Amino acid sequence: MTKRLAVLGAIGACAALLVLYLQPSAQATVPEPTAPVTGNATYFDALGSPYGGCGMPQAELETQDFVALNVFNTPGDGTFYTRPLPASMADKMGLWNNGRNCGRWVQVKIADYCSGTNDGALGQPFCRNGSWASDAYNGGVLNMIVADSCGDANSWCRDDPYHLDLSKPSLNRFVKNGAPLSDLFPNHWNNRHVDWSFIPAPSYSGDIQIGFLSGAQRWWPAIAASRLPNGIHGVEYYADGAWKSAQLNGDMGQSYVIGGTTSGGTQFRIRVRDASDALLFGGREYSFALPEACSAQCGAAYTRATYTTGGASSSASPSRSASVSPSASVSVSPSASRSPSASASASASASASASASAGGCTATVAVTGTWGSGYQAEVTVRNTGGAASTGWTVSFTFAGTQRIASSWNAVATQTGTRVTAANQPYNAVIPAAGSTSWGMVVDGQNQPLTALTCTLR
């Protein structure tokens, strides 16, 4: 049942964001579920404009399957309390946790159906004058990312600590026994119970993305970090010869206000802490400059920054996280391998899968998820030569009118039906006998690819 708009609407003015920046935030005090939990589920249409509650534009998310977590845990109480909640009000914190669960992945499993009334009335049962029952949709699974907050004054966002608010378009992308549940919404929804748990980013093999927010400039450099292996609990920036903790931008959990390496400078150096409070990749450092488009201040909602890496672990590859099987239980299955949305169909991989081998380079394409209007695929690039590469390129041709909607871990361009994807700076080097991968979401029918080529530099 749709019920709300995103909590954060348009945030463009630097002054408005500065108010958020000056607010203190509490440390994490909310007990997190360590095993799958059961919660009530609702849905909403899209993130706010330009940002969702985590401070990321919807178009920049690594998946369009996303959820919102409750800001407040105040059963029967619809009061709008200060955000972020101070430590003195920790007893009112929901699993949003002042934004500290932003950017984390959850595995969601469809559970029982509600046959009664569900109108969000505070203090009233979620399924009133009816009952819960299992049906053919129980057990459908989808991996989703935390991208928004649910803080409205209704029972959905207040009464159930394990409530999940799901992206409406995702409702028909759940998968059961290898097949998509493409007709779950609207006739079989009426709101559901879901079983869910936090998981590491599925099939993670890349590195983070950094972008400047609207209004950012040298004296107020507000950034957002995304494409994280396990959420984000902090950003540190190097200034005047020392590492300093950046201030969280209100409770937009992926956005921080950093500082230049010198006061008022336009060169920046940061490192990131994940949801376990550990430094990402052993303390990897990211160095970047204020983009030219932001020389006065950033006018766009999001301006991506190009970075270089350094520090003690700069040459270490990011460890691949445990991934999940969409047809399995909600617990993590370390042997499975899925792309970020994990809306996979076991029988679909044969259709658009392809492989090519030439000049010490092998490329294989496997479909990892399908839905009515498109599909998702992962491309593995393997170095079969005797020396490390300094770069790579994969090209192929679509069979019809397909278009790439988004991609990750590669710079993909499309001209007509021909697609060329080149490495990102962080995955250019593939050691001999090593491999890397990139992924894409495709609008259009799942058909076999042709003229697949792979080259190394």
Rounded to an integer, what distance in angstroms lies between the CA atom of residue 65 and that of residue 147? Answer: 9
Domain residue ranges of the chain, discontinuous segments joined by +: 14-199, 209-310, 349-456
Instruction: Report which of 283, 454, 449 is spatially closest to residue 377, judged by C-alpha positions.
Output: 449
Q: What is the pLDDT of residue 96?
A: 96
| Residue 241 pLDDT level (bands cut at 50, 70, 90) | very high
Distance CA 410, CA 378 (A): 11
Give the number of other CB atoms < 10 A from CB of residue 386.
8
Strands of the sheet with 247-248, listed across from one edge: 247-248, 255-257, 222-226, 209-213, 302-305
Residue owning tokens 């006739």: 187
pTM of this prediction exceeds 0.85: no
CATH topology of domain 209-310: Immunoglobulin-like (2.60.40)
pLDDT, tens only, 48-72 = 889 999 999 999 999 999 999 999 9
pLDDT tens-digit profile of 246-294? Answer: 999 999 999 999 999 998 899 999 999 999 999 999 999 999 999 999 9
Phi and psi torsions of 404, nearest 5°: -75, 120
Q: In the 8-state DSSP scheme, what is residue 353?
A: -
Measured between alpha carbons, how far is 269 from 286 in angstroms, rounded to an integer?
A: 5
Position 240: which residue type? Answer: D
User: Are 395 and 453 spatial neighbours (Cβ–Cβ below 8 Å)?
Assistant: yes
Share the mean pLDDT of the chain: 83
| Fold agreement (14-199, 349-456) | no
Poorest-pLDDT segment among 58-72, 83-97, 302-316: 302-316
Output the CATH code of domain 14-199: 2.40.40.10
Is 349-456 a CATH 3.40.50.300 domain?
no
Closest CA to 378 of 353, 345, 346: 353
